[in-house]
Amino acid sequence: MTDWRSRFGFHTAPFTRELSVAHRFSLPMFDEVLMALFRAVDQRGSAALVAPAGTGKTALLRALLDQLPEARYRVHYVKVTDLSNCDLCREIAVACGAQPAGSYPMLVRRLQERFLSTMSDDGVRPVLLLDEAQGLRPEVFSLVKILTNFEMDSRLVLSVILAGQMSLRDLLRQPAHEAVTRRLVHLASLRTLSRPESHRYLAHRCSIAGATTFPFDTGACDAVFEVACGNLRATDQLAAKALEVAHDAGAAIVDSGHLAIARRLLWP
């Protein structure tokens, strides 16, 4: 059986999650958020990025990491799951090379010492990227507050970027979390793509995967947008499945009929 990738001229699978920073789809919206988060970190502040699932938050954090020079920043990425204060502390400790053992107060002290020594001994600024931060348990907000509070706020040591789905905004609005929200110097958001942006996105993902001709007809592009509503992850899933369907049908180009089948196969 011919591999569906070679049928459409791809040298690699298109629409996968493995996307190098250099191959990102560029939009003013992404550039503006990236610049705002970079500026927050550069000012030694903390910030939040709140947007629906699949709109590019994690990809943007990767781009931010790429923009922060290693000579000046030490960036730690932690994906939040439903963890207690103590367990999240351990995760952060593992990410930043501190010993992940001991009681909660001991762990907090270890992290604070580690961040301070990163700054004073190594001369680089520690940055903590907390992804999926909508999953932060309420009590864990106090940890974020403690970690960003050095010597009673007289020194800005650690920058925290909280990235999460829309419910993170509700968490940040709660009066109980005001101490954390007040520390944020920027609240960024991302939206879904418009129809023309979605078409350009499809073309971009095909071209970075090596396609010399664009394998979706206009009806297929419209159908992708109507089903995925400009959500990047849904667009990826649908486009990849439609290519498979078109290949199995022996077609050289994906049309709206293939899209309808792909949709049923993905989301019955």
C-alpha–C-alpha distance, residues 171 and 179, integer Å: 12
C-alpha–C-alpha distance, residues 184 and 40, integer Å: 9
- Report the residue number, 23 or 264, with the smaller CB distance to Mg ion: 23
The reply to whether 215 sits near ligand ADP by the rule CB under 6 A is: no
> Residue count at the site for ligand ADP (CB under 6 A)?
16
C-alpha–C-alpha distance, residues 90 and 21, integer Å: 29
The reply to whether 55 sits near ligand ADP by the rule CB under 6 A is: yes
Is residue 144 within 8 A of residue 157, CB to CB? The reply is no
The reply to whether 231 sits near Mg ion by the rule CB under 5 A is: no
The reply to whether 53 sits near ligand ADP by the rule CB under 6 A is: yes
Query: According to CB under 6 A, which one of 1, 2, 17, 120 is a site residue for ligand ADP?
Result: 17
C-alpha–C-alpha distance, residues 189 and 33, integer Å: 7
The reply to whether 54 sits near ligand ADP by the rule CB under 6 A is: yes
Instruction: Check the CA dihedral 31-204-242-219 and report its sign.
Output: positive
Check residue 222 and give left, alpha or beta (phi > 0: left; psi -120 to 50: alpha): alpha
The reply to whether 30 sits near ligand ADP by the rule CB under 6 A is: yes
> Residue count at the site for Mg ion (CB under 5 A)?
2
CB 95 → ligand ADP: shortest distance, Å? 18
The reply to whether 214 sits near ligand ADP by the rule CB under 6 A is: no
C-alpha–C-alpha distance, residues 197 and 4, integer Å: 26
CB 203 → Mg ion: shortest distance, Å? 24
Question: Where on the chain is the footprint of ligand ADP (CB under 6 A)?
Answer: 17, 19, 24-25, 30, 51, 53-59, 232-233, 236
